[in-house]
Each structure stands twice: as structure tokens, then as C-alpha cells.
């Protein structure tokens, strides 16, 4: 057997006994998915049906010679173990997740390498060359090589970065390795989610905890895809996930849903969180109110810097941004703003109203998002407070919420593509 | 009293909700069915009706049934599997089968696209716009639509274009056929055992169900993420699409039959038909007919390259989809662009063999359709893939019957296209 080989070279090969008589044809390779996935058994179709034979009973690989006594019929015997894969049935021609490039790819071929006595799966081929090898079009590719003056290289993904998704037939067996995907960053997961089909998306979300699911869902770019996933997850799970989201993201998502669905999800959420989201839903999407989050830190002006630091430490607030602390009076009117820096460098006994910047620059809830962008760009703010007409602080718009608006602004045509 | 009121309101609400749900899934079925009445289709209908008059009208109902059956399967597979047809074929029949299939479809659709741009040129020229203006502008519009717009926007434009098919209905009314005669002809099967009549029948059916339609519908159902619970609306979308489309077909046939056939005018192309309508049914009728042709051709010219790019990419494993950004799916957009550019360019070549290209596309379509229908039937009856949504015995018998008839017709059509002698004279 050569040191390196492609799956395409094996499938359909004749299987012989020691006397050189044809016993059947090789239809698949069983891969044990250990740390080094190697060929554990061969699947051979003989006139008597499908059989397995252990790799140890393969006497030679070219021509493929086995000991026919060792063939085990597939029907009746144990099928595949949960950690086993069929190279052709589960991998070849199927879609996999490239966990390094965060993309869903279709497998054109699989490369195996000899390691000691075993054949180990090293990489999947997703390129045109693999496809050409499969369909017998390598000659054509060589012709193109001649014209181009350089050879066409293999496009491979190392097996370590491959997450099989499994076709419909093997999805049950393959749900096991999915938690591997859950280790990826939610932003990268979101890229993958877009490429998965509906069933795969649901399988993935089943393996994510609510927090991961919330972050992943927020990062999915296509609003329609977001809605559909939320819908598929069912109102109960959707409520749980929504509770983990910053209220502004939750409001953005719910705002796009039909009202009866949004109400159902809101109904399943904890009262406080639901109330915040509902309040945000009341503002038009393209205004400061529609962009803002209600999670911010507001402090009464009589606190000292020391007390404030102690308070922050005790309560460890869940606000997105704790760099800016807003100072309010009894009516929640915005008096001034205090940075974390001001707080730390001031003597502990100083009253915060003495160190805060006042009046604080703010925007009105009804201001258009472009004005918010302008204010933030002008003053280099990471966040800007949002007030009502009477001066009450109702929320903050953070830089990450405004980023998409800022990026889109100069190219109106981009709006077509979300 | 109060209870009745509440009940009524509830019912009204759910009707309203059903309406909304239907509108939400509406699109793929209607669009696919409409593209069916493209340049090739209108040409075939015009020639058929000019030659045989009302005798050909009865075919519309059986054609509609066949169309609904085939399209419903595509939509169902898209909804249940969430995958395109090319995806499913690749995963279940391997790379080699897929490559052969994709290669032929690419070839056929390239030729189809050329004929669509020929239709744009013909329609525009009747309206007084020279082809070197209409074809490049049409090509650019079509290209921009997909590359710059989102799926939602594309679908809206397509739905608006579908609306313009009403031009054919209006021109049908303006041609003043005898509706009583037309109505009777529609439900009276009429066989003439002449070779050329049989061939015309085959041509009519052949243009009704094309291989690419099966791929396009399934892909757009997937891209729209229609779900099992919404499936009944999606099926309604397919059925409404097929019905409305065949109403258009019916009107085209009736228009031409009432005018050109009655006066014994023979035509060879849709352009001939539109031009010949003017003295017989009035100038506006002819203009509307030409406008319809141009609209249909533009419509198909954007859908055909789109679907081709879709399934070739799906099958080989390249990124595809109109909602992707240009850099994410270079092959998808590359293929799409190349087909439009080549399609438009060929029409602008003086003396290009357009009729020959139309013939070639028809032959490949005819050769491919049986394979695709058989693949579809194999997939849709596979419980592993479709679960409990496999074909029912009734669906199977209707779809197998359709497939067998389509195969028989395609075989004859291909034979006749390759050896015109078989068809005998006129």
C-alpha cells in the first residue's frame, strides 16, 4: 500500500482471496473516530450481501486481498459503534464544518496516510482537484495545469478541524461529537449557522447553553435567519435565550417577529427583563431609543468615590459597559457622567458629584441614529446616554450598537443586503 | 352573544393570519411557474395555435396537472430536507453522476439563456427598440438585480414581473375569440392521428416541465427557509402558480387561434405571431403581445443563469446563494455573470444560429428531464430522507404516470429534433 492514498482510489475496488478469486467489492471504509482516526474495518459487498472485515484481516492492499473466513455479515451483527464513521456514507460527498475556517464545506475526497500498520485519515479534500479525482476528470485538470503553467494544488482541511454533520441517515449517530462545535466563539459559530440547513441549525442550538445560544443568535447577520431560528426553537427556549441577551438585542430580534409570536416569547420571560424589552420595543428602530440598551449604571450624586467602587464590587452589575457611570438625581434626571478612570484616581472620600463631568452630553430618545453616530464620533465616546425630553436617563447607546449603522451609512445600496 | 362575537373574531383573525402566512411563503412556486412561459414557451404556443387553432386547447388542463405534480415534489423536498436538489443528488448518487448531470444542465441552460435574450431582442424590436440597445440594457438589469440585491428584493421584483403577464390576458380579450367555442375546446380532448400534430403536442408538454425548474423551485424554497408547518401554504403557492401560468398559456393559445389560425397565417416564431396580430386584432393587441414576450424573456433571462449557478455550486461544493456577498461566493457570481454575458453577446452576433441553439437546448432539456424525474422520485420515496413525507400511493401513481409520459414524449421529441424527417411535412 502506498504511504498516502485517497478514498476515491479505494471505493468500488475488487476484493480478492489469497488465491486471487474475486469475493466482492469494497463499498466503504469504517473509521474509528479515536484521537487518530484510522480505518478499522472494511465494508465489502459480496453476492451474499454486505459484510465487514477487520483491518487486521486484510492481507494485502494492492490488489486488495483478505481472508474470506473473517467476513462478518453486516445484517444481524453489530452495526457501527457510536464513535465510528463510514467514510463514504458519512463523509464523502457530504457537508462538514471546517472549524478553523468557520465554514460549511462539501467533501470531495479524503486523504489517508499509512502510519505503522494502520491507515489514518489525515485530511478532507474540498477542492476542485478532489472533485476531478472523483469524477475521473484529472486529465482535464492536467490540461488546465499545462495552460496555467503551474499545477493545481489540493485544497485540504486537516482532519483535526473537521466536524462531520452527517447526512439524514447518520444524524442520530453523529449528534455526539457536536459539543465540539459549542467550544467555538459565538461570532464564529454564527458564520457557520448561516450555512447549515434547518435541521442542523436546530441540532447545534440544542447543544449550546442559553448564554452561548443568545450570543450566537445575536451574531447571525441575516435577520430572516435569526427570526426563523428563534421560531424553530419554540417559545419556551426562545424566552430562555432572550433573557440572556442584552435587552436591546432582544428588542431588535423581537421587533422583527409577528406581534403574537413576540408576545408569546415575552410572556415566557422574567417580568423585569420582559418589561425592559417591551419598553425598548416602543421606540422606532432607527432612533436612539431603538438602538439603546437599558442596562447601564446610574448612581445617586451623594455617593463618594469609595462607596461607589464598593457598590460596583458588591453588585457586579451586568451592564455591557461599565466604563461610564451616570450620575442621576432623585427623579432619574441625568446630572453628569463619571468615567471609571475618574473614579479610581480620585480620593475615596470625594463625593462623585465633585468629579463628574456636568452637564453630560446626551442624545434624545427620538434622535435619528445618524445624529447618534455624529455625537459619538465627535466626542470619541464609547457610549452616549439617552434621555427623554424632561431629561430623565432612559438608556445608553454603546459603540458596538452603532458600529453597523456607522459602517452602512456611506453606501446606501448596502441596505439591500442587510 | 358575546361568545359568538368572540368566536367570529377568532375565526376572522385566523383567516387573516392564514392569509399572512400564505403571503409570507408566496413566491417560489409562482415565480417558477411563470418563468415556464418564457421565450421558448410563447414561441411553441404561438406556432401550435397558429397551426391547429382551438384544437390544441384541451392540452392545457393535463399539462397543468403534470406541472403541479412535478413542482409539488420539488417544493416538498426543499421544505423537508432543507437542501437543494443538486445537494441531494450529490449526497445520494455520488460525485460522478452529479458531474454528468451538472455538465449537461449547464450546457442546456446556456443555450436556453441565449434564446431568452433572443426573446428580449424580438419583443423590443416590435416595440421599436433596436436589439443593440435592449439586449445590453436587459443584461445589465438582470445582472444588477442579483448581484446587488437581497433575496427578498429579488423575489419582489420577480413577483412584480409575474404581474405583467397580464398583458397576454388583455391581448387575449382584445383578440375577441368566441369564448363559447374556446370553453368547449378546452375540455374536449382532440386527437388527430397526424404525425405533426403528435409532435406539436410533445413540444407543448416539453416546454411545460423543464429540468431547471425542478432545481430552481427547490433551491428557492430552501433559501426562503419554508418550514414543515408552513408547507400547506407553500403547496398552495405551487398550485396557484401553475394555475395562473396555465391561464396565461391558455390566453396565448386562444389569442393566436382566434386570429392567426382563423385567417390561415402560418408563423415560425413568437415575433412572427406578434407582428401578424396587428392587422387582425389591432395594433395594441400586438404591442401587448410583444411586451409580454419581452417581459417573459427578461424574467427567464435572470432566473435561468441564477438557477444554473445555484445547482452547479451546490453540487461541487462552492458557496452559493443570492444572499451571499460577492466575495463569499465568487464562483456563483462568476458563473451567473458569464452566462448573462455570453447569452447576451451571442444574440448580438450578426447571423448567429439562434434557432439552432434553441433546438439544442430543447434536445438537452428533453434528454435530461427523465433522469431528473427519476432521481426525484427515488429521493422523495426514500424514507431515510423524507421521513413520513414520502409520496403517498396516489402521489406516486400520478407522478410515475407523469414521468413515464414525459419520458415517452421527451424521447420522441428528441428523436424528432435530431431527425426532422420523422415529423413529416408541417
Residue A169 has pLDDT above 60, yes or no: no
Whether the per-residue pLDDT at A418 is higher than 90: the answer is no
- The minimum CA-CA distance between B239 and chain A, rounded to whole Å, is 24
The residue-averaged pLDDT of B99-126 equals 88
* B81 Cβ under 8 Å from any chain A Cβ: yes
Q: Flag the least confident range among A168-182, B276-290, B309-323.
A: A168-182
Three-class SS of chain A: CCCEEEHHHHCCCEEECCCCCEEEEEEEEEEECCCCCEEEEEEEEECCEEEEEEHHHEEEECCEEECHHHCEECCCCCCCCCCEEEHHHHHCCCEEEECCCCEEEECCEEEEEEECCEEEEEEEECCHHHHHHHHCCHHHHHHHHHHHCCCCCCCEEEHHHEEECCCCCCHHHHCCCHHHHHHCCHHHHHHHHHHCCHHHHHHHHHHCCHHHHHHHHHHCCCHHHHHHHHHHHCHHHHHHHHHHCCHHHHHHHHHCCCHHHHHHHHHHCCHHHHHHHHHHHCCCCCEHHHHCECCCCEEECCCEHHHHHHHHHHHCCCCCCCCEEEEECCCCEEEEEEEHHHHHHCCCCCEHHHHCECCCCCEECCCEHHHHHHHHHHHCCCEEEEECCCCEEEEEEEHHHHHHHHHHCCCHHHHHHC
Cell of A238: 426562545
* CA dihedral for A80, A83, A85, A90, sign (positive or negative): positive
The number of residues making up chain A comes to 418
pLDDT class for B426, splitting at 50, 70, 90?
very low
At A136 the pLDDT is 79
Residue from the list A195, A258, A418 with its beta carbon closest to the beta carbon of B150: A418
Interface size between A and B, measured as CB pairs under 8 A: 69
pLDDT value for B299: 83
Contact B91 A199 (CB under 8 A): no
- Confidence (pLDDT) at A402: 81
pLDDT higher than 90, residue A318 = no
Question: Where residue B324 falls among pLDDT bands split at 50, 70, 90?
Answer: low
Report whether pLDDT(B16) > 70.
no
Mean pLDDT along residues B402-413: 76
Nearest to A108 among B153, B317, B385 (CB): B317
Least confident window among A42-56, A277-291, B385-399, B411-425: B411-425
Contact A93 B153 (CB under 8 A): no
Mean pLDDT of B387-414: 81
Q: CA A21 to CA A175: how far, in whole Å?
A: 40
Q: Which of A93, A126, A222 sits opposite B94 (nearest CB)?
A: A93
Contacts of A136 in chain B (CB under 8 A): 96
Q: What are A96's strand-pairing partners?
A: A105, A164
Q: How far is A311 from chain B (nearest CA, A)?
A: 47
pLDDT of B49: 83
List the single residue in B with minimal CA-CA distance to A222.
B323
pLDDT of residue A357: 84
Instruction: Check whether A415 has a pLDDT greater than 50.
Output: no
Q: Is the confidence at residue A78, as pLDDT, over 80?
A: no
pLDDT of B375 reads 93
Chain B residue numbers with beta carbons less than 8 Å from the beta carbon of A131 are 95, 99, 316-317
Interface test with chain A among B22, B221, B225, by most A beta carbons within 10 Å: B225
Closest CA–CA distance from residue A287 to any residue of chain B (Å): 24
Which of B79, B95, B154, B329 is the mutation pick for testing A, counting most A CBs within 10 A? B95
Residues of B in contact with A418 (CB under 8 A): 150
Confidence band (pLDDT; 50, 70, 90) for B343? very high
Establish if B147 touches chain A: CB-CB under 8 angstroms: no
Residues of chain A with Cβ-Cβ distance to B319 below 8 Å are 103, 195
Q: Which range is most confident: A319-328, A390-399, B34-43?
A: A390-399
Express as a percent the part of chain A with pLDDT over 90. Answer: 0
pLDDT at A405: 73
- Give residue B398's pLDDT band: very low, low, confident or very high (50, 70, 90): confident
Using the structure block, give the residue that is written with the C-alpha cell 467489492: A25
What pLDDT was estimated at residue A414? Answer: 36
Residue-averaged pLDDT of chain B: 80
* 150-209 in chain B: CB under 8 A from chain A: 150, 152-153
Question: With bands split at pLDDT 50, 70 and 90, how would you rate the model's confidence at B151?
Answer: low
Provide, as residue numbers in chain B, all residues whose Cβ is less than 8 Å from the Cβ of A416. Answer: 148-150, 153
B235 or A222: which leads in pLDDT: B235
For residue B253, is pLDDT > 90?
no
A134 and B96 in contact by Cβ < 8 A?
A: yes
From first CA to last CA, the distance across chain B in angstroms is 71
Higher pLDDT: B353 or A307? It is: A307
Is it the case that residue B417 has pLDDT exceeding 70? no
Shortest CA distance to B303 belongs to which of B215, B382, B176, B183?
A: B215
In the predicted model, what is the mean pLDDT of residues B268-275? 74
What's the pLDDT at B14?
A: 62
The three cell numbers locating residue A65: 486481498
Chain A CB contacts of B102 under 8 Å are none
CB spacing of A106 vs B316 below 8 angstroms: yes
* Interacting residues of A397 by C-beta distance below 8 A, sequence separation 6+: A288, A291, A292, A293, A363, A372, A376, A383, A384, A386
Q: Picking from A66-75, A206-215, A225-234, B68-77, which range would have the lowest pLDDT averaged per residue?
A: A66-75
Categorize the per-residue pLDDT at B366 as very low, low, confident or very high, splitting at 50, 70 and 90.
Answer: confident
Q: How far away is chain A from the Cα of B91, in angstroms, using its nearest Cα?
A: 5
In this prediction, residue B322 carries a pLDDT of 62
Residue B391, pLDDT above cutoff 80:
yes
Q: B368, B103 in Cβ contact below 8 A?
A: no
Q: Does A416 touch chain B (CB under 8 A)?
A: yes
pLDDT reading at A61 higher than 90: no
HSE toward the beta carbon, residue B164, CA cutoff 13 A: 18
Confidence of residue A413 (pLDDT cuts 50, 70, 90): very low
Q: Measure in Å the smallest separation between the Cα of B412 and chain A Cα atoms.
A: 30
Nearest CA in chain A to B152: A416
pLDDT at position A219, please?
86
User: Out of A238-242, A246-250, B137-141, B328-332, which region has the weakest mean confidence (pLDDT)?
Assistant: B328-332
Higher pLDDT, A61 or A209: A209
Q: What cell was used for B291?
A: 411586451
CA gap A352, A306 in Å, rounded: 9
Whether chain A has a CB inside 8 Å of the CB on B10: the answer is: no
Q: Which of B95, B323, B325 sits opposite A93 (nearest CB)?
A: B95
Put simply, whether B82 touches A (Cβ < 8 Å) is yes
Mean pLDDT of chain A: 81
Cα nearest neighbour of B384 on chain A: A169
Confidence of residue A7 (pLDDT cuts 50, 70, 90): confident
| Confidence band for B11, pLDDT divided at 50, 70 and 90 | low
Identify the pLDDT of residue B244: 86
pLDDT at residue A170 greater than cutoff 50: no
Q: Is the pLDDT of residue A410 over 60?
A: no
pLDDT tens-place string over residues A260-275: 888 888 888 888 888 8
Express as a percent the part of chain A with pLDDT over 70.
90
Q: Are A17 and A67 in contact (CB under 8 A)?
A: yes
Stronger pLDDT, B155 or A21, i.e. the higher one: A21
How sure is the predictor about B425, in pLDDT bands with cuts at 50, 70 and 90? very low
**B 96-125 residues with CB below 8 A of A?**
96, 98-99
**Hey, is the C-beta of B230 within 8 angstroms of any chain A C-beta?**
no
> What's the pLDDT at A166?
63
- How close A234 comes to chain B (CA, Å)? 13
Cβ–Cβ contact A417 with B under 8 A: yes
Q: Are A208 and A182 in contact (CB under 8 A)?
A: yes
Mean pLDDT value across residues A169-187: 64
Nearest to A94 among B17, B20, B91 (CB): B91
- The answer on pLDDT for B145 being more than 60 is yes
Nearest CA in chain A to B101: A135
Residue A361 has pLDDT above 80, yes or no: yes
Residue of B84, B88, B317, B379 best to disrupt the A interface, most CBs of A under 10 A: B317
In B, which residues are within 8 Å of A92 by CB distance? 95
The mean pLDDT of B295-306, rounded to a whole number, is 85
**pTM for this prediction:** 0.78
Flag if B81 and A107 touch (Cβ within 8 Å): no
CB contact under 8 A, A416 and B149: yes
Residues B90, A106: C-beta atoms closer than 8 Å: yes
A 90-149 residues with CB < 8 A to B = 92-95, 103, 105-108, 126, 128, 131, 134-137
Name every chain A residue with its beta carbon within 8 A of the beta carbon of B317.
Answer: 95, 105-108, 126, 131
**pLDDT surpassing 80 at residue B276:** no
Does the beta carbon of A198 lie under 8 angstroms from any beta carbon of chain B? yes
Which of the four pLDDT bands, split at 50, 70 and 90, describes residue A146?
confident
Q: What is the pLDDT of residues B203-227, one digit of tens each?
A: 777 777 888 888 889 988 887 878 8
Per-residue model confidence (pLDDT) at position A64 = 80
pLDDT (tens digit per residue) in A99-113? 888 888 888 888 988
Confidence of residue B416 (pLDDT cuts 50, 70, 90): low
Amino acid at each position: 500500500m502506498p504511504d498516502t492514498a485517497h478514498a476515491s482510489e479505494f471505493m468500488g475496488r475488487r476484493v480478492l482471496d489469497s488465491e486471487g478469486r474475486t469475493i466482492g467489492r469494497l463499498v466503504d471504509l469504517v473509521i474509528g473516530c479515536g484521537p487518530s482516526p484510522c480505518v478499522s474495518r472494511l465494508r465489502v459487498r459480496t453476492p451474499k450481501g454486505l459484510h465487514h472485515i477487520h483491518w487486521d484481516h486484510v492481507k494485502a492492499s494492492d490488489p486488495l486481498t483478505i481472508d474470506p473466513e473473517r467476513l462478518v455479515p453486516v445484517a444481524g451483527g453489530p452495526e457501527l459503534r457510536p464513535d465510528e464513521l463510514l467514510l463514504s456514507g458519512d463523509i464523502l460527498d457530504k457537508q462538514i464544518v471546517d472549524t478553523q475556517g468557520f465554514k460549511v464545506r462539501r467533501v470531495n475526497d479524503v486523504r489517508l496516510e499509512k502510519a505503522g500498520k494502520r491507515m489514518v485519515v489525515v485530511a478532507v479534500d474540498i477542492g476542485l482537484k478532489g472533485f476531478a479525482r472523483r469524477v475521473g476528470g484529472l486529465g482535464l485538470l492536467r490540461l488546465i495545469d499545462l495552460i496555467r503553467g503551474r499545477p493545481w494544488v489540493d485544497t485540504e482541511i486537516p482532519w483535526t478541524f473537521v466536524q462531520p454533520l452527517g447526512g439524514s441517515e447518520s444524524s442520530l449517530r453523529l449528534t455526539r461529537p457536536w459539543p465540539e462545535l459549542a467550544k467555538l466563539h459565538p461570532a464564529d459559530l454564527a458564520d457557520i449557522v448561516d450555512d447549515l440547513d434547518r435541521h442542523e441549525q436546530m441540532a447545534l442550538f440544542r447543544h449550546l447553553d442559553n448564554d452561548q445560544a443568545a450570543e450566537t443568535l445575536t451574531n447571525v447577520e441575516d435577520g430572516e435567519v435569526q427570526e426563523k431560528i428563534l421560531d424553530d426553537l419554540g417559545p419556551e427556549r426562545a424566552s430562555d435565550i432572550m433573557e440572556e441577551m442584552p435587552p436591546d438585542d432582544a428588542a431588535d430580534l423581537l421587533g422583527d417577529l409577528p406581534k403574537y409570536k413576540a408576545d408569546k416569547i415575552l410572556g415566557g420571560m422574567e417580568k423585569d427583563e420582559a418589561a425592559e424589552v417591551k419598553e425598548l420595543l416602543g421606540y422606532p428602530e432607527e432612533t436612539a431609543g431603538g438602538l439603546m440598551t437599558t442596562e447601564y449604571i446610574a448612581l445617586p450624586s451623594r455617593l463618594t468615590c469609595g462607596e461607589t467602587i464598593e457598590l460596583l464590587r458588591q453588585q457586579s452589575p451586568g451592564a455591557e459597559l461599565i466604563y461610564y457611570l451616570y450620575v442621576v438625581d432623585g427623579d432619574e434626571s441625568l446630572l453628569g457622567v463619571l468615567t471609571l478612570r475618574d473614579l479610581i484616581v480620585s480620593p475615596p472620600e470625594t463625593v462623585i458629584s465633585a468629579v463628574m463631568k456636568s452637564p453630560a452630553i446626551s442624545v434624545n430618545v427620538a434622535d435619528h441614529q445618524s445624529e447618534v453616530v455624529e455625537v459619538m464620533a465627535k466626542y470619541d465616546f464609547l457610549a452616549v446616554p439617552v434621555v427623554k425630553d424632561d431629561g430623565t436617563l432612559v438608556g445608553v447607546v454603546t459603540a458596538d450598537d452603532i458600529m453597523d449603522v456607522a459602517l452602512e451609512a456611506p453606501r446606501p445600496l448596502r441596505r439591500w443586503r442587510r | 352573544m358575546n361568545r359568538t362575537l368572540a368566536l367570529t373574531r377568532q375565526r376572522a383573525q385566523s383567516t387573516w393570519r392564514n392569509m399572512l402566512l400564505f403571503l409570507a411563503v408566496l413566491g417560489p412556486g409562482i415565480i417558477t411557474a411563470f418563468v415556464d412561459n418564457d421565450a421558448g414557451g410563447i414561441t411553441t404556443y404561438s406556432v401550435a395555435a397558429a397551426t391547429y387553432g382551438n384544437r390544441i386547447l384541451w392540452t392545457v388542463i393535463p399539462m397543468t396537472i403534470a406541472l403541479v405534480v412535478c413542482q409539488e415534489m420539488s417544493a416538498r423536498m426543499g421544505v423537508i430536507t432543507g437542501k437543494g436538489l443538486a445537494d441531494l443528488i450529490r449526497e445520494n448518487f455520488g460525485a460522478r453522476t452529479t458531474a454528468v448531470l451538472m455538465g449537461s444542465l449547464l450546457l442546456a441552460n446556456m443555450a436556453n439563456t441565449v434564446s431568452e435574450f433572443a426573446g428580449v431582442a424580438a419583443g423590443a424590436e416590435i416595440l421599436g427598440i433596436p436589439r443593440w440597445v435592449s439586449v445590453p440594457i436587459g443584461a445589465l438589469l438582470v445582472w444588477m438585480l442579483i448581484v446587488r440585491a437581497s433575496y427578498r428584493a429579488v423575489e419582489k421584483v420577480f413577483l412584480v414581473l409575474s404581474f405583467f403577464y397580464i398583458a397576454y390576458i388583455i391581448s387575449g380579450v382584445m383578440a375577441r375569440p368566441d369564448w363559447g367555442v374556446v370553453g368547449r375546446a378546452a375540455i374536449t380532448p382532440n386527437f388527430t392521428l397526424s404525425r405533426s400534430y403528435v409532435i406539436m403536442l410533445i413540444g407543448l408538454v416539453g416546454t411545460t416541465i423543464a429540468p431547471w425548474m425542478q432545481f430552481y423551485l427547490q433551491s428557492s424554497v430552501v433559501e426562503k427557509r419554508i418550514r414543515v408547518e408552513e408547507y400547506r401554504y407553500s403547496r398552495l403557492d405551487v398550485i396557484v402558480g401553475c394555475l395562473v401560468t396555465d391561464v396565461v398559456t391558455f390566453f396565448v393559445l386562444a389569442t393566436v387561434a382566434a386570429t392567426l389560425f382563423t385567417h390561415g397565417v402560418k408563423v415560425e416564431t413568437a415575433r412572427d405571431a406578434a407582428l401578424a396580430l396587428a392587422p387582425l386584432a389591432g395594433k395594441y393587441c400586438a404591442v401587448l403581445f410583444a411586451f409580454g414576450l419581452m417581459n417573459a424573456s427578461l424574467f427567464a433571462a435572470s432566473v435561468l443563469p441564477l438557477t444554473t449557478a445555484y445547482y452547479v455550486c451546490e453540487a461541487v461544493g462552492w458557496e452559493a446563494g443570492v444572499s451571499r456577498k460577492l466575495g463569499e461566493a465568487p464562483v456563483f457570481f462568476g458563473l451567473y455573470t458569464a452566462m448573462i454575458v455570453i447569452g447576451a453577446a451571442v444574440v448580438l452576433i450578426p447571423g448567429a444560429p439562434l434557432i439552432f441553439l434553441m433546438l439544442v437546448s430543447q434536445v438537452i432539456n428533453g434528454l435530461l428531464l427523465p433522469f431528473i424525474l427519476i432521481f426525484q422520485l427515488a429521493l422523495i420515496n426514500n424514507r431515510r430522507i423524507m421521513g413520513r413525507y414520502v409520496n403517498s400511493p396516489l402521489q406516486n401513481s400520478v407522478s410515475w404516470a407523469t414521468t413515464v409520459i414525459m419520458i415517452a414524449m421527451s424521447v420522441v421529441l428528441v428523436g424528432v429534433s435530431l431527425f426532422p424527417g420523422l415529423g413529416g411535412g408541417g
